[in-house]
Structure 1
Amino acid sequence: MSFFNFSVKLFYRAKKSILLAVFISIFGFIFFTIIPSWSANMGQGYEQLTNKSRKMIQSYRKALIGNLMPKNNSTYNQRNTECDSSIDWDMLLDDITVTGAQLVQYFMWTNHSSCHLSHDFGGEMGFNPSGLAGQKAVCIDPKIAPKPGKCIVYSFGIDNEWSFDEKMSRYGCEVFAFDPSMGMDHHDHIPGNVHFYNWGLGDRDEIDHHNNWTYRSLSSIYDELSHRHGRKIIDYLKIDIEYSEWLALPEVIESGMLSYVRQLGMEIHLDIYASLKVHVYWAKLLRTIEKMGMVRFDSEYNPWSVGNFTKFPLAGSLGYEIAWYNSNLSHVIMP
């Protein structure tokens, strides 16, 4: 390469560097001198925005942040609670600062991974939104599944809707159904191997004279029906009794009847007029059975029953279908 050609190339390279330096200098002048002055003027202009404009900007900001942040406390974030198995629920429920949103997070905790295969039995099609309502999840894992031809089911709360009972009968279980509100006497329901009793589930044996309904505890009913099915395990206990679950559940725990229940499917109901303290107590009842060996494997919120709570800030579902299996009553699987 000649000295002349080398000099020309060096000149063009230097020219590019000079242009780049000039460009950087101009950009720096604009960024550090003009923009701050312009921003200050804009800041003064922002102060003159109408309240409506400010609220619009704030709402967009909140929406953006809401989409970016994980929604751990969202009332309807039911599927994200699968990862919440790491949460210490006892510590959460004992915390005096626990919120309504955190309580809902506990109720909606699904823990699906604890059962590899579960089926929904029964239910009716609901609308607005469309979907199945009243179904009960049954774990079909071999160590937990009801054994067709050998299983018994207790079903509390029928309300003339027999789909769960009939499906469990078709599955191969003998079903004992209970409901005092239907105005029916004891009888065998057709179709299926379903025996109906006009008893309600309570914490003791008593008569509601106002409605002329008979309530009985689970232990009392089991003792009386043992002459029909023996002292067998209740393979599935369904409880859907419109708030009375909170009255009956302590008796189920204290009487020792939980040790006779292989799977439990229960619709729990929250009360918009009850205090946060009452709801914490209800949540602790569920934690009690879980610490006794009942393993949660499903939870679904009820989208047709929603409301605004009056004693603490929360709006959301008032009903949750939760299902557990008893880890102390696994079947022995033969090799």
Structure 2
Amino acid sequence: MQYFMWSNQSSCKLQHGFGGIVLLNPSGIAGKKAVCIDSQIAPTPKKCLVYSFGINNEWSFDEQMESYGCEVFSFDPSMGMSHHNHSPGIHFYNWGLGDRDEYDNVFNWTIRSLSSIYNSLYAIHGNEIIDYLKIDIENSEWIALPDIIQTGMLSKVRQLGIEVHLNSEASIEQYRKWAQILRAIEKLGMTRFHSEYNPWFMGNFTEFEFWGSFGHEISWYNRNLFHEGSFSYQNLNMKNT
């Protein structure tokens, strides 16, 4: 649990929260995603690409990233909407994120892997790096992430923000498996710079007598994709030590 809550915020000197809605009891902003604005890793306005999975008719993240200067591709099969342009810079697709291309007959959803979606949209955005990949897909991140690792798609992602969902009745062994998935992406170059718990999603973890949050907003940047010639606080700190 300490690993899920570890923020490592010193790895990014300047981070901004994009999106989110105001909730009460407790008062705060839910659903915002941390974006590192340090020069070596920040999205470049007018040249940045964003993939946003999980909208649920709440467009604040996508709209703010568009205002920042990014082209945004948004995905959610649960909204009953066909492909369309939400705005000039936000393109919506009725696809969900999974580990393969398949049709979910239970929900009538089209599910696709990240690599498949990227290849389908190649004609639109070319071989560009995804400057920010947002994943908020209600537990299905644990299905999609192993495929993203296996297919090498992490090498196409500069920053990653996920709402990680935990389960009140999951075993310690299951939590270890989930932690191993996150550690796997960190071993491949993703540096965590933010983690905060969801205070509106609290409860008792029955398998190991722990009271806490079942949701954590965690963000990483890819230290293999620093902008060329940019100043890096992280590299400076490494040299000083």
TM-score (norm 2): 0.94
The alignment partner of 2:72 has SS state of: strand
1:171 to 50, 68, 85: 68
CA deviations on 1:76-114 (whole Å, 9 max, x unpaired) are xxxxxxxxxxxxxxxxxxxxxxxxxxxx21111111110
CA deviations on 1:115-150 (whole Å, 9 max, x unpaired) are 110000000001100001000000000110000111
1:333, 1:124 → 2: CA distance? 37
Letter of the aligned partner of 2:126 in structure 1?
Answer: G
The alignment partner of 1:274 has SS state of: coil
Q: For residues 158-197 of structure 1, what are the structure 2 equivalents within 5 Å?
A: 158-190=55-87, 192-197=88-93
Cα offset, 1:334, TM superposition: 6.3
2:71, 2:99 → 1: CA distance? 24
Native 8 Å contact 2:193 2:220 kept in 1: yes
1:241, 1:107 → 2: CA distance? 18
Letter of the aligned partner of 1:157 in structure 2?
Answer: G
Unmatched segments (≥5 aa) in structure 2: 232-241
Residue in 1 that maps onto 2:113: 217
The alignment partner of 1:304 has SS state of: coil
Q: For residues 1-335 of structure 1, what are the structure 2 equivalents within 5 Å?
A: 104-190=1-87, 192-333=88-229
Q: Which runs of 4+ in 1 moved over 2 A?
A: none
Based on CA coordinates, which of the two structures has the bigger radius of gyration? Answer: 1
CA deviations on 1:271-290 (whole Å, 9 max, x unpaired) are 01211100110011101111
Letter of the aligned partner of 1:311 in structure 2?
Answer: E
1:249, 1:314 → 2: CA distance? 26
2:198, 2:229 → 1: CA distance? 36
The alignment partner of 1:160 has SS state of: coil
Cα offset, 1:326, TM superposition: 0.1
Native 8 Å contact 1:236 1:265 kept in 2: yes
Cα offset, 1:315, TM superposition: 1.4
Letter of the aligned partner of 2:148 in structure 1?
Answer: V
Higher relative contact order (CA 8 A, sep 6+): 2
Cα offset, 1:172, TM superposition: 0.3
Letter of the aligned partner of 1:244 in structure 2?
Answer: S
Cα offset, 1:333, TM superposition: 2.6
The alignment partner of 2:121 has SS state of: helix
Native 8 Å contact 2:39 2:230 kept in 1: no
CA deviations on 1:150-198 (whole Å, 9 max, x unpaired) are 11000000000000000000000000000000000000003x5100001
CA deviations on 1:180-228 (whole Å, 9 max, x unpaired) are 00000000003x5100001000000001111100100000000000100
1:276, 1:312 → 2: CA distance? 7
1:220, 1:334 → 2: CA distance? 32
Native 8 Å contact 1:142 1:333 kept in 2: no
The alignment partner of 1:331 has SS state of: coil
- Number of residue pairs matched by the alignment: 231
1:124, 1:334 → 2: CA distance? 33
The alignment partner of 2:55 has SS state of: coil
TM-score (norm 1): 0.68
Residue in 2 that maps onto 1:12: none
Aligned-CA RMSD value: 1.0
2:83, 2:230 → 1: CA distance? 39
Letter of the aligned partner of 1:233 in structure 2?
Answer: I
Residue in 2 that maps onto 1:40: none
Greater share of helix residues, 1 or 2? 1
1:177, 1:230 → 2: CA distance? 17
